[in-house]
Amino acid sequence: MSILKGKSILVTGGTGSFGRWFVRRVLAEHDPARLVVLSRDELKQYDMAAELGHDPRVRFFIGDVRDAGRLWRAFDGIQVVVHAAALKQVPAAEYNPFEAIKTNIHGAQNVIDAALDRQVERVIALSTDKASSPINLYGATKLVSDKLFVAANAYAGTKSTRFAVVRYGNVVGSRGSVVPFFKRLAPTGVLPITDERMTRFWITLDQGVDFVIDMLGVMHGGELFVPKIPSMRVVDLARAISPEARLDFVGIRPGEKLHEQMISVDDARRTVDAGKFYVIKPDADWWDGTPWETVSPVSEGFSYTSDTNPEWLTLEQLRTMIGG
């Protein structure tokens, strides 16, 4: 039976790329009792309600994770929370640093406090590969957020609320991603590439939603889950979108990495290989490692980076994923 069947679920940032797809999939496949979409934009909520055929199981809350009082109200009767709200554009976070802090860090703590006060059963927060060994503010705020959600299990005490984190790479076609950017520029015959060596982890919205739902079913509280997903070369992506375009190498932007990382060498000391995904266990006195003690640890010196990943997407696979 689905972990979400008959549950009251809330998604922060529910009108974003992940939120919209998560809501569609859960309504179609998991038969929730109620699904609450919390976001700041009433127009996006209006459009989303129409797209969903005004499904009576869906509720729309105007609100911001920065507003603790609004979260307390919205979490009334909620059993499962998926925290997808974030300011995630790297340049915007660099230019507006404290705005990113207020949403990605203060907002995370507000979600935690509301979940504890309202006795939510399970909370899973979405992270990013940029949170591992971060070099930009967005990644740094998400690393802090990850640590807040892991530590929240200690604050729960005797309460039944449990928190976990999922961390994955770039999502194909999400708003603000490179795919719509390249498609928009393809008619010009020139695609800008920061560096011909650049690699990224790659995941579809369906895969991201599946992973979140699967981890809601196996989490015990305190884990940081990392899926095993393929890498791609950005130059291959450009060629998949526009084979004839000239590639203009413009240099790495501030706050950008040549290769992304999801598990560092230091985190690997607490990481186990669960087959289709990795689990980074918390380094905390309260952690009961029993749920994962039979799972093999990763090898000494292991790290999970997009350039050393054993799985790579071909040009044909990239074309299929982007609908080209």
The answer to whether residues 234 and 198 touch, using CB atoms and an 8 Å cutoff, is yes
- Please confirm, yes or no, whether 147 is among the known catalytic residues: no
The answer to whether residues 317 and 233 touch, using CB atoms and an 8 Å cutoff, is no
Q: Single out the catalytic residue among 130, 142, 257, 281.
A: 130
> Can you tell me the distance from the alpha carbon of 143 to that of 131, in angstroms, rounded to the nearest whole number?
5
CB contact burial 293-318 (16+ within 10 A = b; e otherwise): eeeeebeeebbbbbeebeeebeeeeb
Structure tokens at 63: 């609100």
In the DSSP assignment, the letter for residue 106 is: I
Q: Which of 95, 112, 90, 252 is nearest to 177 (CA)?
A: 90
Q: Which of 40, 26, 44 is nearest to 81 (CA)?
A: 26
Q: Which residues pair with 61 in a beta bridge?
A: 38
Q: Where are the alpha helices (DSSP H) in 194-275?
A: 205-218, 234-241, 265-268
> Can you tell me the distance from the alpha carbon of 153 to that of 55, in angstroms, rounded to the nearest whole number?
34
Q: Which residues contact 224 (CB under 8 A, 6 or more apart)?
A: 127, 146, 150, 164, 165, 166, 167, 279, 280, 282
Angle at 60 between CA 213 and CA 49, to 5 degrees: 90
> Can you tell me the distance from the alpha carbon of 319 to that of 221, in angstroms, rounded to the nearest whole number?
38
> Can you tell me the distance from the alpha carbon of 179 to that of 71, in angstroms, rounded to the nearest whole number?
33
Active site residues: 130
